[in-house]
Each structure stands twice: as C-alpha cells, then as structure tokens.
Amino acid sequence: ADEIWNNLINRYNTIPFTNDVNPDLTDYVTTEALKGVYTMIAVEEKEIRKKVESRTTDLLKKVFALQDRP
C-alpha cells in the first residue's frame, strides 16, 4: 500500500496548479485524522460556550461562569 500511495502521490504532485499531498502515507493519515479530531473539538467547544446546558461537569461550569456574568 505504501509503494502504491507513493507512486500515485508523486505523480499527482507533478500536476501543475494542485496542492502537493504528503507522500508519506502514515504521516498523511495521522495529520488528516488529527485535523478531524481538532475540528470536532472546536464544534464541541463552540457548543459549550453558547449553551449553558452543554456544560455538564462542575469544572466546565466553573471555567465558563465568568463569561455568563452580565
């Protein structure tokens, strides 16, 4: 799989006007997975900041208590 990926991506990266893709399959998959995790963390954080009922632990309630003051 690594060899096929490397060959494919190295050819793809020669196409003009495209963004280069990392030819290291393990690194590429790890990076993309982390992007997904961070995106989901951002979604959850936005929800916690907007909705008081999303603050389900005492720590979250304490941390965000200051922002709730008028």
Q: Single out the residue of 64, 70, 38, 36 nearest to residue 50, CA to CA.
A: 64
pTM exceeds 0.75: no
pLDDT, position 64: 85
pLDDT for 10-69, tens place per residue? 999 999 999 999 999 999 999 999 999 999 999 999 999 889 889 999 999 888 888 877
pLDDT, position 28: 92
The pLDDT-based confidence of 1 (bands split at 50, 70, 90) is: confident
- For the chain, the domains span 25-70
